[in-house]
Each structure stands twice: as structure tokens, then as C-alpha cells.
Chain A
Amino acid sequence: MATTTVDAHAHDSHAHEGPKGILGYFWSTDHKVIAQLYLWTGMFMALIGGLMAYVFRMQLAFPGKPVPGFGVVSPVEYNALVTNHGTIMIFWVAMPVLIAAFGNFLIPLMIGADDMVFPRINRLSYQVFLLSAIVILASLVVEGGGFGGAWTAYPPLSANPAYNLTPLGATLWVVAVALEFVAFLLGGINFIVTLMNARAPGMKAYDIPMVCWMIVIASILFMLSVGPLIAGAVMLLFDQTLGTGFFNPAVGGDPILWQHLFWFFGHPEVYVVLLPAIGVTVDIVATFSRRKLFGYRLLLYTAVGIGVLSFFVWAHHQFIAGIDPRMANIFTVTTLLISIPVIEMFFVVFATMYGGSIRLTVPMLWALSFLAEFMIGGMTGIYLGSSGSDIYLHDTYFVLAHFHYTFFPIAIIGGFAAFTYWFPKMYGKMLDERLGKIHFWGTIISFNFIFIPLFILGGLGQHRRIYNFQNFPELAPYQPLRVVATTALVVMLLFQLVFFWNLIKSFRRGVPAPKNPWESNTLEWTADSPPPHGNWPPDQMPVVYRGPYEYGHPGRESDFWPQNVPPAREA
């Protein structure tokens, strides 16, 4: 094949392909540049999603009053804000940051490769993603405003412009989401094939760092679950624009079909973003506990088990959609079953920490808080997965608080954990630990003050997607709880300024990062900080001799044992 012959002379030309100028930056095929593009696009979208939350939370706390920086929120705007907050946070923040950005940055570096196996498809993936981000942002300002039918886009509300009143916004929403799927299919195939084929010599399946495994398992899950929804998106688009009736019972369609197609994707999607966050946590906890990961294979098989199980739980979102109660029983059982492998993963992390010499650095704090906060989300899920109690709790703020206690730890806490851990490698500068800790505690404490009140409100029967609770006499008296949540949100958003200050400070006069600041074992820490184009000199590509978690080995002088150190030199 042609590929074997280019090997010898490829590097000379390859080495000159680093980004040049702004345009060169957007046109680069370097996996690290693409990772940063994904990262900063994701952070920008997170800012937009966060500001949307600020506007609609202000409306809920102080209904009808003008929101500083926005003005009076109309009911139509409220719906569009809530819908697009959810859509953006999942598809344009959680996925690009956790999977695309860190997958792109880490997979080639951690497996000792110089790039992805298909660098140009990788670039195409980002470009399609950028286009999708532009489309979703454009959908907010078109005539009629952004789509307001909730991020789940249930028909008939989403299918018929006469109901949703946003003919353009709804169509652009579907187009943007479909483009985003295309971007992640392209990227995901690249991740999977890169991990399968491009590993450094000596790196066997069980020598792969856990975060790489998790991102690749997540990519496979995504690929296998998103297909029916792509077909569903085509049907919805036709319903909106051509006047077909796939989801219209009047002409033989079925609105429940969309719910099945959506949640057949939507529930595995939770694990698509959970697994990379677990992978990040595992790598960080093992490094800062100076202990070998407890049960590498157990964790890997558990992740695969979660992946398989996650295809059989989707209808727990539809307990009150009129599905057969016998079917609801089955889905209750599968939903409760999946909590077993999830908690198994957590016990693996706890067992890893047991007896370790724990270093409470900023990334470690984020990783530990991920475990604590996600646990609350997981535990409250048991009430929602049981079809009986879900009949009462369905579509209340209890559900809302529950999934924010899963998605916030995954996307935001997991994202910050990974970012603070790999920042020295990405930019060659250390972050300020003191500012990092201020940012950490400010974010975590205010986060709990946002959502614990919302759990209480949900238990009291407060329904989601309501513009103004003052119209409901039985819910109006709980206004103080809403004000607490909104105040905490504003505090949390303000604490993000500390993070940006930390970034600016580090870029301007941060301490230069050594190659391996955390004394970690995995291969990315053997490259320069930041790694040059090609990651290692072509004649010094790393070779792997052992697993990624050999910390605290008895009889060794240093308490870590990098994957690429030959055993002979040690003896």
C-alpha cells in the first residue's frame, strides 16, 4: 500500500505544516490546534449558554422586571432561551469540550502518535462543527426568534409552525443539530480508528490510558445511537418544510415515534458524555493519589457494560407518554440496573485513593468534586427511574435539578478538571493554584445553592418550562427559593471571572511548565510543553513498556514509572 512507503520521507514535509497566522490556524490539520479550536469554541458557547440561564433565571426570580443587560423577557423569548440553553449546553459545550477537544488533544499524545490517522477529516469535523454553531446562533436572531419547543423538540410543537410560531428558528435548530451530529461522526470515526491502529509500539490494549478508552467507547456509543435520530431529524425537517406527517396522527403518523427516536439517542448520550468525564477523573485521581488504578480491566469492562445497558433504558423518559405499563416495568428494571455499573466505577476510584498519598491540587479537587456532585445526580435518578414515583415527579424541577446534577459535574466540573490538569501540557505554563482554588470553591458552593432549592421546589410540584410562577397561587409563596437559586447562579457566573483572570495571568507571566509537572506516567508528559508539531522528533517516537498507572511501585526510588522507560535502564 502507498501508506507504507510514505513513512520514511513523510516527516520532513509534515514538520513544516504548523499553523501560520489566523487563517492557517483555522486550516491546520494538527490535532492539538483542532483540539484548541474545539475547546475555545466550546467555552464561548458555554458563556452564551450560561448567560441565557442568567436571563431566564432572572425572569423566574423577578418576573416581569427588566433583566440587566437584556430587558424585559417575553414569554416567547423565555421559551427560546430555555430551549437553546439546553441544546447549546449539551451539543455545543459538553460534547465539543469533553470529547472533541480532549479526545483530539489526548488520544494521539497518550498513545504515542504524531497525529490522528486522518488529519484532514479531523479538520473537516471541526469546520462542520463551527458551521453548526453558527447556524444555531443564527437561529436565535431570525424572524420569529429562536426555536422554543424545548431541547427535546417533541412534535407536534416542533413539527408544525402554526404551533411553535418559529418557522425559521425551528428549522434552523434541526439543521444545526444534524450538522453537529455529522461533525461528531467524522471526529468519532477518527478517534476510534486512531486508538485501534496508531498506538505506539508495545502499547497493548490494557496499556491504554483510561481516558482514551472512555472517549473511544463514548464515540462508539454515540455512533450507534445517533443514527435513528438522524433519520428522525430528516423526518422532522420534512414535516416542518414539506408538509409530510411522519409525526402527525391525522395522516397516519405518530408523535411518540419522535420520542422513541430522540431518547434512543438521548439516553446513551448521557453516557457518551459521562464516560469521558469518568476517564478524566480516573487519570487525575490515580496521578494525585500516587496509587495504581484499582481494577483497570474491571473499569474497562464496566464501561462497556454501561454502554450496552444504556441502549435499553430510553423509555424511562416516556413513563407518562402513554406507553404500556408492562413496558414501563421493564424499563424501570433496566434503569435501576444501570446504576450498578455506574456506582461500580465510583468504587474503583475510591479504592484507588485508599491508602494513597493524596495531593489536593486544583485538578484533584475538581475530580473529587465530580464524584461527590454526580453522586447526588445519580441517587436522585433512582426516584425518577422508578415508574411509580416518576408519575409524580415527571417534568418537575426535581427532574431538572437531577439532570443538572449529572450534566454540570460531567460537562463543567469534568471539563475544568481536564483543563486544569492538561493546561501545562497544552500551553507550557502553570496555572495559579491559589486562584484556581478560589475559582473551584466559588463555583462548587454556588452550584449547590442553585440546584438544592430547585430539588425542593420540584418536590413541591413546581413544573418545568413555566414562564411565571406567580400565576399559580399554590406555587407563588415559594418565591424566596427561586431568588436563592438565581442569586447563586449570578455568584457562580461572577466566579468564572476568577478563572479568566487566572488564564490571562498565566498566559502573561505564568511559571513555565516542565515536561512532567504532575509526575505522571502517561506518554503525553514525555513530550515538550507545549508539544511541537508531530509531538516528538520522528526518530524519538515513544515505545511503551508498561501500563499507565504504575505509581508507588515497591522497590523503586521514585514513586512513578513512566510508560516509556525501558526496564533494562532501571535494573
Chain B
Amino acid sequence: MSSKPIATSRSATGVPTGRLAVWWVLASEVVIFGGLLASYVIHRMGHPEWHAAAAVTNTWIGAFNTFVLLSSSFTAVLAHQAAEHGDGKGAARYLMFTILGALIFVCVKAFEWTTEISHGYTITSNGFWQFYYTAAGLHALHVIAGAIIMGFVARDAAKGRELHRVELIGIYWHFVDVVWIFLFPLLYIAK
């Protein structure tokens, strides 16, 4: 469908409609993760004995994944810059690097979880592990969904279409990054 209503092309605020919508999506995401993490923090403070479980998590794997995700955000910025200059092919190439980062992140996560589950730390083990798997799992879902959408955006961008979407998916990707910046210290560093 190529036709868009007149409404979509209007911009009474001066902010493009797509960007405005993405910010509102992120606002709703912030409260979802905010509610989950606030529940976790309150419980964590009320249960000092969860420290023992938290000590099991592998900080180095978490740090590596943090590095991967931050790097993928960097390539998302480069993709946006390329799209701004009208270089759709360049934007698509940088987005592919970001998708690669997402893949590495998810694979490392899968390896990490498999190890932990095989050692008997499952989602029902105790209070810490249920928050650990739920929060990181919800975040991983966002990584996977973002990577899939990014694939579509990159496909269009390579053909020089809908270049403004490169920026929109980039904003979303930074958000996924920021959520992880909160999860990493809360789940890995705080022993």
C-alpha cells in the first residue's frame, strides 16, 4: 500500500509523526520495565539471602554482552548518519552489523542460560532466578523483535526507500541498550 492519508503527512508539532510515535512507544516500554525492575529491587532489598544466588551469575559474560550491545548501538548511529546523507546502501550495511550484534548477544545468552539451567538454576529455583530469567528474557525478546524489524528496515533502505525508518529503529535500539545498562548491574554486578 503506497497511499497514506493526508493526516500522516501533517506535522503540527514540527516533529515527524513516526519519530513522535516511537518516543511514545518507548514511554510505554519504560513503565513496563520500570514496574518489573522496581518489583525486583524492592524484593532484592527485602531478601538479603538472594545474594548467594546472584553470586552465581557470570559477570564476565554479562560484561561481554554489554560490550556487544553498545557496539551494535554505535553501528546503528552510523546507519542513521548514512541515511541522513541519503546513502541507503551504507545504512543497510551498518544495520546488518547491528543485527549481527543482536545475534551474538542472543547466542551468548543462550549459551549462558544453558549452562546455568544445566547446573540446576532454573526459573523456579528461587526468587532471584525468577526475576533473573523474566527480566532478561523480556529484554531478549525486545532484542529479537528489534533485530527482525531492523531486517525489514535494512531491506527497504538498501533500495533507497523509507530511509527515515533507519532513525526510528535506531531510537528503539538505543532504548533496548539502555534497558540492558540497567539490567547488567542489577542482575550481574550486585552480588
Contact = CB atoms under 8 A, between A and B. Distances in A.
A199 B127 contact: no
**Residue picked from A114, A231, A534, most chain B C-beta under 10 Å:** A231
B50 A6 contact: no
B118 interface: no
A45 to B, nearest CB: 24
Given A224-B31, A228-B34, A252 B17 contact: no
A244 B15 contact: no
B36 interface: yes
Interface residues of B, number: 49
Given A242-B123, A245-B127, A197 B162 contact: no
Interface string A12-23: 011001000000
Contacts of A17: 3
A460 B1 CA distance: 63
Interface in A215-253: 223-232, 234-235, 238, 242-246, 251-253
Contact of A199 (B2, B4, B12): B12
B32 A198 contact: no
Nearest to B127: A252
Nearest to A253: B127
A189 B32 CA distance: 15
Chain B contact residues, majority secondary structure = helix
Nearest to B125: A251
Contacts of B42: 257
Chain A contact residues, majority secondary structure = helix
Nearest to B29: A227
A197 B15 CA distance: 8
Interface in B1-41: 1-13, 15-18, 20-21, 24-25, 27-36, 38-39
Contact of A6 (B9, B35, B123): B9
Nearest to A192: B24
Interface string A107-127: 010000111111110000000
B55 to A, nearest CB: 16
A246 to B, nearest CB: 6
Interface string B160-173: 01111000000000
Nearest to A219: B24
Contacts of B20: 193, 196-197
B124 interface: yes
A267 interface: no
B31 A227 contact: yes
Contacts of B115: none
A14 B31 contact: no
**Residue picked from A117, A199, A228, most chain B C-beta under 10 Å:** A117
A254 interface: yes
A541 interface: yes
A252 B43 contact: yes
A119 B5 contact: yes
A471 interface: no
A122 to B, nearest CB: 10
A227 B5 contact: no
B50 to A, nearest CB: 7
A3 B17 contact: yes
Q: What's the interface size class on A, roughly?
A: 35 or more
B28 A1 contact: no
B16 to A, nearest CB: 6
Contacts of A229: 35
A538 B5 CA distance: 10
B47 interface: yes
A243 B12 contact: no
A279 B69 CA distance: 45
**Residue picked from A3, A10, A251, most chain B C-beta under 10 Å:** A3
A117 B5 contact: yes
Contacts of A231: 32-33, 35-36, 39, 138
Contacts of B15: 196-197
Nearest to B42: A257
B32 A228 contact: yes
B134 interface: yes
Given A14-B3, A114-B7, A252-B50, A189 B28 contact: yes
B114 interface: no
Contact of A244 (B7, B35, B124): B124
A420 B16 CA distance: 36
Given A10-B5, A14-B5, A193-B24, A117 B17 contact: yes
**Residue picked from A7, A223, A227, A238, most chain B C-beta under 10 Å:** A227
Contacts of A113: 5-7, 10
Given A117-B17, A252-B50, A223 B24 contact: yes
Contacts of B24: 189, 192-193, 223
Contacts of A192: 24
A11 B9 CA distance: 12
Contacts of B58: none
A196 B127 contact: no
Contact of A257 (B4, B39, B123, B162): B39
Contacts of B4: 3, 6, 10, 14
B31 A238 contact: no
B7 A116 contact: yes
Nearest to B162: A2
A230 B35 contact: yes
B26 to A, nearest CB: 10
A196 B123 contact: no
Interface string A279-299: 000000000000000000000
A57 B22 CA distance: 46
Given A223-B27, A227-B31, A252 B5 contact: no
B7 A108 contact: yes
Contacts of A193: 17, 20-21, 24
Contacts of B28: 185, 189, 223-224, 226-227
A238 B130 contact: yes
Contacts of B134: 234-235, 238, 244
Contact of A2 (B27, B36, B50, B161): B161
A261 interface: yes
Given A3-B17, A197-B12, A189 B126 contact: no
A194 interface: yes
A227 B30 contact: yes
A4 interface: yes
Nearest to B21: A193
Contacts of B162: 2
A238 B131 CA distance: 11
> What 8 pairs between A and B have smallest CB-CB spacing?
A228-B35, A227-B31, A252-B127, A115-B5, A198-B7, A231-B36, A113-B7, A227-B32
12 contacts: A1-B164, A3-B164, A17-B3, A116-B7, A197-B13, A231-B33, A234-B138, A244-B123, A244-B130, A245-B124, A252-B126, A254-B43
Given A199-B10, A227-B33, A238-B130, 9 more contacts: A2-B162, A2-B163, A3-B4, A116-B5, A117-B7, A117-B17, A193-B21, A225-B31, A264-B35
